[in-house]
Amino acid sequence: MAALPADFEWGFATASYQIEGGVDENGRGKSIWDTFCHASPSRTKGADGDVACDHYHRYPDDFDLLQRYGAKAYRFSLSWSRIVPLGGRNDAVSEPGIAFYSRLIDALLARGITPWVTLYHWDLPQGLHDRYGGWLDVDEVQRDFERYARVCYERFGGRVKHWITLNEPWIQSIFGYATGVNAPGRSSTNDQAAEGDSATEPWIAGKALIMSHARAVALYNNEFRPQQRGKIGISLNGDFYEPWDAADPRDHEAVERRMQFHIGWFANPIFLRKDYPPCMRQQLGDRLPRFSDADFAILGDAECDFYGMNYYTSQFARHREEPPTETDFVGNVEELAENKEGVSVGPLSGVHWLRSCPDMFRKHLTRIYRLYGKPIYITENGCPCPGEDKMTREEAVEDPFRIAYFESHLDAICKAIKEDGSVISGYFAWSLMDNLEWSDGYGVRFGVTFTDYETLERTPKKSALVFKSLVEERQVSA
C-alpha cells in the first residue's frame, strides 16, 4: 500500500547515555544515571554507561553506517551534563561539550542526514538532583531546563531544525519516582530504594517535566523560531489498550482511563492547554499538582509543531473491583497480554513486555491524531527478536522477527494515513545499534546493528540493510 508521503522523514534513533561512554572526558558532569548505575548492590544487572558503545569516540563510523543504511534523518539526544556539567542556570557551560555535539551535527549534515535533537532523555545532571531534588522542585528545575534549552538553541539552532524537548516524561516520572527501577531510583514500594514517596513524587515530577517542556517551547517560539525556522515537539510514550472483556462496559471505561493515565497526563496540558484528565483528578485528588494561571500562560505560548510518538506494544485492560491503592499509577486497571477468550494481543518479542500488535498501533495512531490534531512523527518503534539476547553475532544478524515487525508497523502507518485520514510525517526505528538497555543492562538487543560489547565492533543486521526498501515500497512517488 503506497501511502507514505514523498517527503516522509525516516531514520534511526539513539539516546546519549545508552551509547556515548566518555563519561569523564572533557569536563562532563555526572548524571543521575551515572550514580544509579554505580549503586551497590547493582540495580542495572551490573551494567553502566561508562563506555557503553563508545560512540563518543566512534561516531564517524556510526554515521557511516547511517549513510550506508540510507537514513534520511537521525534522532539523538544531548547529555545535559556534558553541556552544563552542574546543570543550573547560573552554572558554567562546557565548551568542549558544545564542541563535541557541534562535530556530531556537522558530521551528519556532511553525510546528508538531518539531525533531530532531543534535549532530555532521562539523564538529569546529578548536580541538580543534589542541589534541590531535581524534578521534585517544580519551579527551580523548569528554569534550569529553560536556560539549558537556550544554550542549545543558541549554539546549534542554526543547523538543527528539529527539536524534541523531552523523551517519555511518563517513564521519568513513574520509573524514576514511583517504582524506582530507573534513575534516580526513588520509591516507597521498592525494597531497593532508600528514599521516596510513590504516592506523591511521580505527580510532582510530572508537573515539573510538563512545565520544563512548556518553557523550552515558549522560549523557542518567542525568541528563536523567527530566525531559525525550525520545528519543535515532545516524544510521549504510551501503549494502546483494548477491553479484556469486550462485552463489559467497565472494561471499556478501564481502557480509556488507562490511556488517560498514560498519555493524557502529559498530552492534555501540552497539546490542549487543559488540566489533567478528569479521571486522574478524581482518583488522585490533591496529590495531583494544580496548574496556576501563570502556568497556563506559559503553556499557551508553547504551541508544538508535532506529536512525537514512542510506541512498542499494546495490551488489554480489565477493570478492578476494589478501590485504587494510594500508590496506583495506572488508573486502577489490570494490564494483560491475553483477553477473556485467551486471545493474545500478539506474538512475543525478545523481551517480556513487548508483543507485536500492528493493528492496535493503527488504532493508536488514529486516536492520537484525532485527539490532539498534530502531525505525528513516530520517534521510537522497534523490538528485540525472540532469544536474541542469547544469540551469537552470526545468528543475531539474521533478524526476521524484527523485519516482520517493521513491515507490519509501516503497513499500519499506511492504513492510518490512507484509510483513517491521519497525518503521519516520519518514523525513527529504535535503535541504530544494540546498547545499554537502562536497568536491563546489556542483555536486551533493540539495535539494527549488532554491537559486540567486548570489542565494540558493529555489524549490520539484515533489518538495517533492508529498511530503506521497506519504506520506499510504501512511499508515494514525488
Active site residues: 168, 380
- The residues near 170 (Cβ < 8 Å, ≥ 6 apart) are 206, 236, 237, 238, 262, 263, 265, 266
Extract long-range pairs of 273-280: CB within 8 Å, 24+ residues apart: 273/299, 273/300, 279/331, 280/331
